[in-house]
Amino acid sequence: MKKGYFLLIAALYAIAVFFLASTTPITPHEAKIFYTSANLVAQLMKWGEGLIGGFLGLRIFFIFLGLISILFFYEISRRSFAKREDAYLATTIFMFLPGMITGATLVSVAILVLPLVLLFVLLYESKHFIFLPLIMLALFFIHDTSVIFFLALLVYGIVHKEKMISILSAAFLLAFIYFSRGIDVGGKPSGHFVEIFGLYAAVFSPFVFFYFFYTMYRILLREKKTLLWYISFTALVLSLLLSIRQRIDIANFAPYVMISVGLMLNTFHHSLRVRLPQFQKRYILGFKLVMLTLLISAMAIFFHKVLVNQMPEPKRYSANNVYSPYFLSKSLKSLNVSCYDTSNDHERYQLQYYGIVPCRTNFPLK
């Protein structure tokens, strides 16, 4: 991909992300965090809401963190690929992952974790080790599931005889144990193993995840294993194992898995460029098919509001727990009604954001 095309796509992407964030109603997850939490995610939402207001204000800090993540990913790709054009292409694929689009536009702790993990890898590969403990400390406090990250670092440090990485990661793992934090490994076999593949297909888009899974497996068997691979492979394997016994929150694992998209492109190039031109056609065709499905998935997210508005009865058919409270609040306000009772806690918080409070006082609002 040429630099000019990449810059144009990046500019259009940024505009689309800001538009999506400013027009998508508050989600149940966001509303609950906004009214019930006091963590860093909630504080960033409240600061943004105070600065700008509206849906965009709630998400403004997370948008910038998403764009910073893309910048860090590009810097890592630039060092990984011999050709600058390959780095542009890898970054474009990363940008258009459905999980990346939603992560950059909707509030989630995942978008706090992603730039930190990418920055850690970037600094490590640049041999700027002095800042690594600070990033590890930030991840320790921000994200309980960062135990995945420290476990991957420990394995990497032991295999590659990196004493500093091994000691630091082991220390943080012991801290997780001491403070009884980390991943809940309880539960019993409950049949969520197949479900996790569907969740990853939604994060990557189906064909992209299929090739990504193949890439992780291929590197395990025969290719050089980088720090990126250790982090993503550890998160992927742990999520699959845990899904046997419990339902997985994919947002806890996605930041550690998505960072290795560049490895997927690198594997593809190795497979393509060792073959004669007459034998490359099916590989190129397959690549175009995968990119087409990725583009369709991305466009479905960017233009979902247009699709909702085209429905004959949006309130009835749209859906979903994001738009239903939004349309309900508009209907109530058009009737000069300022209160509404619902037994759904998430919906109650969403309606509160739109200025609709419970009619009965036995519904506590914080």
**Closest by Cα among 13, 295, 257, 282 to 145:** 257
Would you state the pLDDT for residue 279?
A: 66
C-alpha neighbours within 13 Å on the C-beta side of residue 175: 15
Residue 363 phi/psi, 5° resolution?
A: -95, 105
Provide the H-helix boundaries in the chain. 3-23, 28-36, 40-51, 54-80, 84-95, 98-105, 110-125, 132-142, 147-159, 163-178, 193-204, 206-222, 227-242, 254-258, 261-273, 281-302, 304-309, 314-317, 323-334, 345-353
pTM, entire model: 0.89
Helix axes 281-302, 261-273, angle to 10 degrees: 160
pLDDT tens figures, 309-360:
666 555 554 456 888 888 888 888 888 888 888 888 888 898 888 888 888 7
> In angstroms, rounded to a whole number, what is the distance separating the alpha carbons of residues 44 and 90?
30
Range of lowest pLDDT (15-24, 102-111, 175-184): 175-184
Would you state the pLDDT for residue 366?
A: 46
Mean of the pLDDT values across residues 44-57?
90
C-alpha neighbours within 13 Å on the C-beta side of residue 280: 11
**Closest by Cα among 218, 228, 252, 223 to 75:** 228
Using CA atoms, how far residue 151 sits from 155, 168, 337, in Å, is 6, 11, 53
Query: What are the residues whose beta carbons fall under 8 Å from the beta carbon of 297, sequence distance 6 or more?
Result: 96, 98, 205
Q: Could you tell me which residue, 338 or 190, shows the higher pLDDT?
A: 338
Angle at 266 between CA 260 and CA 267, to 5 degrees: 95
Measured in whole angstroms, the distance separating CA 57 from the mean position of its chain's CA atoms is 20
Would you state the pLDDT for residue 186?
A: 58
> In angstroms, rounded to a whole number, what is the distance separating the alpha carbons of residues 280 and 356?
60
Query: What are the residues whose beta carbons fall under 8 Å from the beta carbon of 14, sequence distance 6 or more?
Result: 67
> In angstroms, rounded to a whole number, what is the distance separating the alpha carbons of residues 1 and 18?
24
Q: What is the mean pLDDT of the chain?
A: 85
Helix axes 281-302, 3-23, angle to 10 degrees: 30
pLDDT tens figures, 144-167:
888 899 999 999 999 999 999 999
Measured in whole angstroms, the distance separating CA 190 from the mean position of its chain's CA atoms is 25
> In angstroms, rounded to a whole number, what is the distance separating the alpha carbons of residues 34 and 365?
12
